[in-house]
Copies of this chain bind each other. A is one copy, B any other.
């Protein structure tokens, strides 16, 4: 019989449930054998949806990761416990696929990274779904084949459909801020397309509270824009927003010396156009999962393959840390209203030296 990766799911909230289902039904080389949630509603869902397929359910994470034969865990609990759970899993000798971010705290991110370095035989990955998206992969291949010359500028945005319930106000209390929470995807794309050895030279950022003024209490914004200049003559321009009326719009442009690639330039839910008195209309996905569902499926499959075959993961854990670091710089530039400058060694350059002009 075929050998399958025995994996457990930690956290069965919105994203956790999707990971569980993907490993259960859409990852031929994996077998979901366990799931953990401290939430009773989620547990009830799991009893109906997962248990009949032979998935053992737990309300205690520590107990679950000791299940005999378990080889890996996918972590999609609250961000605040991602790091701790990842480290415990590594201690148990488990491969780890962790929802982004590892943590909103850079030192905590680094603890996970340090722990992973001690277990070189384990696959530890922080899931940046766009790396597994067919369109992004095709764009990367085209760039890699030289189609646009030397990639120089990246413009990338993560823009959510406006949720007027105000849910994201409270969420801002612990999300790390919009740049860490949302733009981290775009920053990861910058590392992927411009090279993960790029070093930040300067960061500026601006934001507005256009639809949710209460975000002020958490020093956060509903729209933010920032520019990151790198030391090798490359620039990234990011935009994140929670205010889109039309749906999810995640657009990326990679501009090279001899051409340009765009991904998602024309957001669309499907291939239908409606022609009526208003003109021609197409719909837009309401949420990121409407756009990236197949990328999450590919992520699960690629992770399983890397664990079983002991092959390289398509993205490095230290980049996940670097993406959060850059996100945090943007967030600081945004909140403090300053331009942050770093030398080539990555150290802060005193503002005073800048302002002597």
Contact = CB atoms under 8 A, between A and B. Distances in A.
Interface of A: 1-2, 24-26, 28, 52-54, 134-135, 138-139, 142, 147-150, 152-153, 155, 202, 204-211, 223, 225-227, 229, 233-235, 237, 239, 241, 243-247, 249, 255, 257-284, 294, 336-339, 341, 350-352, 354-355, 357
B278 A281 contact: yes
B273 A262 contact: yes
A241 B255 CA distance: 10
Contacts of A283: 278-279
Contacts of A350: 355
A340 to B, nearest CB: 9
A303 to B, nearest CB: 16
Contact of A138 (B152, B210, B258, B270): B270
Contacts of A155: 239
Contacts of A239: 155, 237
A276 B339 contact: no
A278 B278 contact: yes
Given A206-B235, A239-B237, A263-B271, A279 B282 contact: yes
A54 B53 CA distance: 17
A120 B251 CA distance: 47
B208 A135 contact: no
Contacts of A204: 204, 206, 227, 339
Given A147-B276, A282-B280, A243 B266 contact: no
Given A246-B259, A260-B275, 12 more contacts: A24-B28, A25-B26, A28-B53, A138-B272, A150-B210, A205-B227, A208-B234, A223-B255, A227-B227, A260-B276, A265-B273, A280-B282
A202 B204 CA distance: 10
A298 to B, nearest CB: 13
Given A247-B279, A255-B243, A223 B211 contact: no
